[in-house]
Amino acid sequence: MKKQDLIDQIHIKKSFLCVGLDTDLTKIPQHLLSFEDPIFEFNKAIIEATKDYCVCYKINNAFYEAEGVKGWESMAKTLALIPENILTIADAKRGDIGNTSNMYAKAFFQNLNFDAITLAPYMGNDSLAPFFQYPNKWGIVLALTSNAGSADYEQQKINEEFLYELVIKNTTKLATDEQLMFVVGATKPQDFITIRKHAPTHFLLVPGVGAQGGSLAEVVKYGKNADVGLLINASRSIIYASNGFDFAEAAANEAKILRDEMSLYL
């Protein structure tokens, strides 16, 4: 998906919502467990219920890999259901030596045909470069994450700059804002000021709004740019809004609430 296509969808839907499909067999409604593929049945219902309110789906690979081959099949079937005008992200956090990253890029961009993948940058730019060889595909590099452990490395200073700043400055040498995004947690909203100094035109994937307590208003205040430039991810607060027969309806309601709030900033 091209950057302009994503921007167009944001304005058409009045939304910059990304729904995270962190589908856990222990949390989905019990009545779905009788299906041959409960994960797929759950995802199918969630996608149908929320597709009009979001511009992106993020599939957290860990929840599928944990189920072995069947989980990968569920993931592939889920991906095939998502409309072409909605960005698809593999939340896989890959990043390894060059030849290994080449294979990861082939797996997610050629075989599975995701639009984007999250990347761990700490092995250096040569571990990321293979992902930027695919036209109209995106690498989303971890910059400043929402977990408490981000203080251990990302927020350590090197020569008066935070490590996450160096990550952003160095990776912008690999690709333009047509292919490169950054992960920035919603729980540290004022740090968006610093991040925008280094990446003023890039899209930012922002987890942490909803179940993790991040504020949409503060993220928009400090992080929004001329193209909006934000994809706000919500996972648990939407997909697990109910564990009953009304789970899809409840998910739709939560997604609509967020979409309606987002529309006020467009």
Q: What is the pLDDT of residues 82-107, one digit of tens each?
A: 999 999 999 999 999 989 999 999 99
> What whole-number distance in Å separates Cα of residue 88 and Cα of residue 205?
12
Contacts of 207 (CB under 8 A, 6+ apart): 20, 145, 146, 183, 185, 186, 214, 233, 235
CA distance to 30, 61, 189, 214, per residue, from 148 (Å): 32, 22, 14, 13
Report the pLDDT averaged over residues 57-81: 97
Nearest to 87 by CA among 165, 10, 148, 190: 10
Identify whether 58 is a catalytic site residue.
Answer: no
Is pLDDT above 70 for 159? yes
Is pLDDT above 70 for 216? yes
- The total of other beta-carbon atoms located within 10 Å of residue 260's CB is 12
Please, which pLDDT band fits residue 200 given cuts at 50, 70 and 90?
Answer: very high
Identified catalytic residue from 93, 169, 197, 224: 93
Please, which pLDDT band fits residue 231 given cuts at 50, 70 and 90?
Answer: very high
Phi, psi of 80 (to 5 degrees): -65, -20
> What whole-number distance in Å separates Cα of residue 103 and Cα of residue 130?
9
CA distance to 10, 89, 114, 214, 254, per residue, from 192 (Å): 20, 22, 27, 13, 26
Please, which pLDDT band fits residue 218 given cuts at 50, 70 and 90?
Answer: very high
Is pLDDT above 80 for 211? no
The tokens describing 6, both together, are 């994503």
Please, which pLDDT band fits residue 16 given cuts at 50, 70 and 90?
Answer: very high
Give the pTM: 0.96
The tokens describing 106, both together, are 């082939």
DSSP H stretches of helix in the chain: 3-13, 38-50, 61-65, 68-81, 98-105, 125-128, 163-171, 192-198, 216-223, 236-239, 247-263
Mean pLDDT, the chain, as a whole number? 95
Q: What is the pLDDT of residues 108-154, one digit of tens each?
A: 999 999 999 999 999 999 999 999 999 999 999 999 998 889 999 99
pLDDT, residue 188, reads 79
> What whole-number distance in Å separates Cα of residue 55 and Cα of residue 51?
8
pLDDT, residue 66, reads 96
The tokens describing 105, both together, are 């890029």
> What whole-number distance in Å separates Cα of residue 17 and Cα of residue 234?
7
For 3-247+257-263, CATH gives 3.20.20.70
Region of 86 on the Ramachandran plot (φ > 0 left; ψ -120 to 50 alpha; else beta): beta
pLDDT, residue 209, reads 82
Is pLDDT above 70 for 212? no
- In DSSP terms, 117 is beta-bridged to 90, 139
